[in-house]
Every structure is written in C-alpha cells, then in structure tokens.
C-alpha cells in the first residue's frame, strides 16, 4: 500500500516548544505523516528555536516587538508562513492573540492546542481557573482557530482528574503529557484526511462531528 504524501506544516511557538518536540518525535517514530516546512517564533530567544535548529528544521523569527500594531505584525507573519506553502499551521504555545485578518486567511488550516476542556477556561491561567471553579476533571483540547479566542470547533480532548490537593503547578504537570500525546494524534487525523472543517462544520470520517473525540488521561 502506497504511503500518502506527508502534509506540510508550519509550527508557531513562543517558548520552549514542548509540543513541537512531541510532534517531531512522533514524526521520527513514523506516527505522524508530516513535513516540517518551518518553525516560526515571535520571540528570538524562544528555547524551541534551538531545538528546531538542532533537528535541522527551518526556523524564522518574526519579532513582535519590532511592530507598532497587531495588524502589521500579523501581515508579516502571514508572509513568512506563506513562503513555505503549508497545508496546516499549528499553534504550539504561540502566545499571541491573532487578528481576524490572520484567522480568516488560514480558515480550516489553523489549529491550536489549549490546556483546558474547552469551552471551559478560555485564555490564560487555565489550571488555576479549573481549581478556582472546583471542577473534578480538567484536560487539554485541540481545536480549529476562529475569530473567537479559544472558541473554534474542538475535535479532540484528553481528560485528567483534578485531585483535592492539586496546585496549579501540579495540575499543569498532569495535563502537559496529555497535550504531548494528543497533539500528534490530532495532526495525524488531519494528515489522513479524517478530520476537516468545512463551512464552519466539523467532519470526522466524512460524518458531522457534534462532540469532540474524548481520550482519557
């Protein structure tokens, strides 16, 4: 059986790039059928850039501090991404709120890994939000990005139990491995053509997906 051609992806990071590393290791283990077209960061000192360079992946910095506004920054970011002609853009710890212009440009081709069970706990400090709310389950979500912050269609989630003595740091440490395990799975579903966003509606194996695929922790 002929192996399908890998899809080209660009990964956007702002920090250590731990989800980038999980994607790379899955690809090396032949569990993820992608070609890393580039790794792009808004921070020149992002530790994930060093990892990418060590693996001989193409890297680019589009430093947000050199721009006067979000619109001009995102336009330059679009140009940097599009020079690699990716089929998918993965936000892997990219700590920027994206403009509607950017999101529309990559409609159906832009996914994010978020450390909560969306639609609960959007934005930052999700683990503390979960503790403050007293929930019994927390986790991570992979979703297509829309103009609503952390509000796009979610197609994959992983859950972990919240323990009575958890701190935000302890809970974060329990959730992070789930991000690392599920982000390659999510990208592989797209690479295989099994997950798609068409006209704002999620499809899984050509059937409308009404609830996220749930994976236990």
**Catalytic residue set:** 114
Q: Which residues contact 100 (CB under 8 A, 6 or more apart)?
A: 147
In total, the chain counts a number of residues equal to 217
Ranges assigned E (strand) in the chain: 7-13, 34-41, 59-61, 88-91, 110-114, 137-144, 154-161, 195-198, 201-204, 207-208, 213-216
Find, among 26, 33, 189, the residue nearest to 111 by Cα. 189
| Under 8 Å between Cβ of 48 and 16 | yes
Q: Which residues contact 16 (CB under 8 A, 6 or more apart)?
A: 46, 47, 48, 51, 93
Locate 149 and state its tokens. Answer: 């912050």
């Amino acid at each position: 059986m002929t192996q399908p051609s890998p899809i080209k992806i660009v990964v956007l990071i702002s920090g250590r790039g731990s989800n980038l590393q999980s994607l790379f290791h899955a690809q090396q283990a032949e569990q993820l059928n992608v070609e890393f077209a580039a790794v792009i960061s808004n921070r020149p000192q992002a530790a994930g850039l060093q990892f990418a360079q060590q693996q001989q992946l193409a890297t680019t910095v589009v430093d947000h501090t050199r721009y006067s506004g979000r619109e001009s920054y995102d336009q330059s970011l679009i140009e940097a991404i599009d020079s690699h002609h990716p089929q998918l853009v993965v936000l892997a710890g990219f700590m920027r709120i994206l403009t509607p212009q950017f999101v529309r440009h990559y409609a159906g081709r832009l996914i994010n890994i978020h450390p909560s069970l969306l639609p609960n706990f959007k934005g930052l400090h999700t683990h503390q939000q979960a503790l403050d709310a007293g929930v019994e389950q927390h986790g991570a979500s992979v979703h297509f990005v829309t103009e609503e912050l952390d509000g796009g269609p979610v197609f994959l989630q992983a859950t972990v139990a919240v323990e009575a003595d958890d701190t935000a740091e302890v809970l974060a440490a329990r959730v992070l491995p789930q991000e690392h395990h599920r982000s390659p799975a999510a990208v592989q579903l797209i690479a295989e053509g099994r997950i798609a966003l068409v006209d704002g509606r999620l499809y899984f194996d050509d059937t409308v997906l009404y609830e996220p695929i749930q994976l236990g922790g």
